[in-house]
Amino acid sequence: MPYVIAAIVGIFVIILLSCIRIVPQATEYVLEFLGKYKTTWSAGIHFKIPILEKVSKKVTLKEQVLDSPPQPVITRDNVTMQIDTVVFFRIFDAKMYTYGVVNPVNALSNLTATTLRNIIGEMDLDGTLTSRDLINGKLTGILDDATDQWGIKITRVELKNIIPPAAIQAAMEKQMKAERDRRETLLQAEGHKDAAITRAEGDKRAMVLAAEGERDARIARAEGEAKAIYLAKKAEADGLRALMEAGIDGTVLELKKYEALATVANGRAAKLIIPSDVVDTVKKNVIFSETSGLGDQTQAATDPQPPKKADPCCDKE
C-alpha cells in the first residue's frame, strides 16, 4: 500500500511540473483549451491545466530571413533570366501566424516568386538590370500588404542575383567591350587635341613674348638714342650759355670757326677753299693770324746736306 501512494504522488508531481511552462524572451506560445484558441503566452512563467490545455504553437518574434532559390522570370522583351531574392520578415501576431495560413513560410516563398514574375514581366532587360531599388521597393510593398492577414511584417526584400542567359551575357560583354574601346578612342582623341591646343598656345605665347621683347628692346634703344641726342644738345646749349654768360663777342666766335677750319685742313693732301670774306676777316683779326698761321709765307725747308767726309789726300796739303 505505501508503494502505491508513493507512485500516485510521483505521478502527480510529474504532471504538475509538466504544467509549468517558461516562455523565453522574444517568443510567444499559442495556448488552446480543448482544441480551441484560448490565449497567447508572452515571455515569463505560466501554468496550464493538464490534459485540457495544450501549447499549440511556439512562435519566435525575431526577424527571420527567407532565402528563395532562383526563379525563372520573363521580361517584357521576352528574355528569360534567373532571379533569386532574400526576404526579411518578422511575426507581429502569433495567433494570426498560427491560424492564418498553413505553412506560412512556404506561402511567403510562393507569393514572393509570383509577385516577382509580375513585376519583371512589366520591365525590359535593361530596366531589370538597372532598377534593383525600384523592384525591391515594389516587392516589399506588395508582400507586406498581402501578409498582414498572416501576422507577418515584411521589413525588406533584396534581389540577390540576376542571371541572364549565356547568349545575352556574351552580347552584353561584347557591348561593354565596344563601349570601353569607344571611350578609350575618345579619350585618346581628347588627349591629342588638348596636347595640340597646348602646343599651339605655347608657340603663340612664345611668339608674343618674342615680339614684346623685340618691341621693348627697340623702345629701349630709341630711348637711349634720344637721351644721347638730348644730352649732346644739352651739352652744346650749356656751352653756348656759358660763352654768352662769359661775355664772348663776335671776334672770339669767328676765331672758333677758324680753329675748326684749321683742324679740318690739318689732314694730308687736303684742299681748303676759304671764301674772300673769310680772308678779309682773317686779315682784320691779328689774333687768328698768329694762332692759325694762315697767310704766312714761309720757305719750304730744304733737306739737310750730309756732312762732307774729310779727304785724307787734300787735307794733308
Secondary structure (3-state) at 91: strand
Confidence of residue 278 (pLDDT cuts 50, 70, 90): low
Secondary structure (3-state) at 307: coil
pLDDT at 314: 47
pLDDT higher than threshold 50 for residue 288 = no
Q: Which amino acid is at 63?
A: E
Percentage of the chain with pLDDT > 90?
A: 23
pLDDT at 88: 95
Burial class (CB in 10 A: 0-12, 13-18, 19+), 161: exposed
CA distance 270 to 300: 18
Q: Which amino acid is at 19?
A: C
Reading the block at residue 78, the C-alpha cell is: 521576352
pLDDT tens-digit map of 252-262: 666 666 666 66
pLDDT at 13: 74
pLDDT tens-digit map of 139-198: 999 999 999 999 999 999 999 888 888 888 788 788 888 888 888 888 889 888 888 998
Whole-angstrom Cα Rg for the chain? 64
Mean pLDDT in the chain? 80
pLDDT at 127: 85
pLDDT at 262: 63
Mean pLDDT of 241-264: 65
Order of strands, sheet of 27-33, starting from the edge strand that comes earlier in the sequence: 36-41, 27-33, 53-60
Listed by start position, the domains of the chain span 2-60, 64-164
Confidence of residue 316 (pLDDT cuts 50, 70, 90): very low
DSSP category for residue 294: T
CA distance 182 to 173: 14
Mean pLDDT of 274-284: 54
pTM above 0.75, yes or no: no
User: Do β-strands 71-74 and 80-91 pair in parallel, antiparallel, or remain unpaired?
Assistant: antiparallel
pLDDT at 306: 52
Burial class (CB in 10 A: 0-12, 13-18, 19+), 54: middle
Is there a contact between 119 and 135 (Cβ–Cβ < 8 Å)?
yes
DSSP3 helix / strand / coil % (the chain, rounded to 5): 55, 20, 25
Count of helices and strands (H, E) across the chain: 10, 9
pLDDT at 303: 47
pLDDT tens-digit map of 68-91: 888 899 888 888 889 999 999 999
pLDDT tens-digit map of 94-111: 999 999 888 999 999 999
In CATH terms, the fold of domain 64-164 is Tetrahydropterin Synthase; Chain A (3.30.479)
Dihedral of the alpha carbons of 182, 188, 192, 198, in degrees to the nearest 10: 110
